[in-house]
Amino acid sequence: MMKIIAGGLDNIPGVRAGGFKEGKYGVALVAFDSVCKAEGVYTTNKMIAPPLKVTKSKIKNGIQAIVANSGNANCSTGDKGMKDAEEMCRIAAKHLGISQKNVAVASTGIIGRYLDMEAITDRIGKAYVALGKNSGAAARAIMTTDTKPKELCIDFGSFKIAGIAKGAGMIHPNMATMICLMATDAVFTAGDLKKAVSQSFNMMSIDNDMSTNDIALIVSTGKKKVKGFGAALTEFCQEMARMMVADGEGVTKVIEIEVKGAKTDADARKAARSIGDSCLVKTAAFGNNPNWGRVAAAAGYSGAALVESKMKIWYEINGEKVLLFDGFAKAFDRDIWVEKLKGAKEVKIIVDLGLGTGDAKAWSGDFSYEYVKVNAEYN
Q: Could you list the active site residues?
A: 177
Contacts of 225 (CB under 8 A, 6+ apart): 186, 187
Nearest to 367 by CA among 283, 292, 289: 283
Residue 265, Cβ density class (10 Å: 0-12 exposed, 13-18 middle, ≥19 buried): middle
List the helix and strand counts (H, then E) for the chain.
Answer: 11, 15
| Residue 323 φ then ψ, to 5° | -85, 120
CA dist 49 and 68 (Å) reads 13
- The secondary element (H helix, E strand) that includes residue 42 is strand 25-42
CA dist 180 and 49 (Å) reads 16
| Residue 221 φ then ψ, to 5° | -95, -5
DSSP helix/strand/coil, 305: coil
Are the C-beta atoms of residues 23 and 67 closer than 8 Å to each other?
A: no
Nearest to 126 by CA among 140, 114, 112: 140
* Kind of pairing between the strands at 204-205 and 215-220: unpaired
CA dist 213 and 175 (Å) reads 9
